[in-house]
Amino acid sequence: MKNNHLISRIAIYLLAAVMLSFGWFHFTHARDLVGYIPAALPGGIAWVYVVGVAFWLVAVAFITNRYVKTAAYVLAVLLFIFILTLHVPNYLNAGDKEMRSLAWINILKDTAIAGFALHVAAGAHHQKLHLEGSD
């Protein structure tokens, strides 16, 4: 039983490392990412930085084992928003086969990470946020 907990922690640390790198990418390549923000959304590049900070905060929560449930639910919601507002429109409006493939990969990647985040949230019974009857 103790090994299962260790393996779970390692998996969560791996997700934290991915979130740290995604956050870093949002800060170091903000100008490249701003083109993905829907034109109807005001704020432009500020959203790239906000998402980078959100990724870092999720990673810190996972590493410190504090607010894990809340952070995991926020991450899942954020990724589902990305899927619906960025990746699906990019997939549907892709000009060539390569761009369509990249959009599809992003849909699958964010769906997988969101699924893992939901799994982490559901398993974080020691955390403060409890949605009675839905855990």
**Dmax over Cα atoms in the chain, in whole Å?**
51
128 occurs within a structural domain: no
Evaluate whether residue 40 is within a structural domain.
yes
Rg (CA), the chain: 16
pTM passes above 0.75 = yes
In a domain, 131, yes or no: no
**Per mean pLDDT, which range of 4-13, 42-51, 95-104, 124-133 is the poorest?**
124-133
User: Which residues, including other chains, have CB under 8 Å from residue 63's CB and lie 6 or more apart?
Assistant: 13, 16
pLDDT of residue 38: 78
Domain assignment of residue 134, yes or no: no
Domain annotation covers residue 6: yes
Residue 38 located in a structural domain: yes
Does a structural domain hold residue 53?
Answer: yes
- Which tens digit of pLDDT belongs to each residue from 15-43? 999 999 999 999 999 999 888 887 788 88
**Confidence at residue 128, expressed as pLDDT on a 0 to 100 scale:** 55
Q: Rounded CA gap, 18 and 104, in Å?
A: 19
Residue 118: domain span: 2-123
pLDDT digits (tens, 9 = 90+) for 76-100: 999 999 999 989 998 999 889 999 9
Tally of residues, the chain: 135
Domain count, the chain: 1
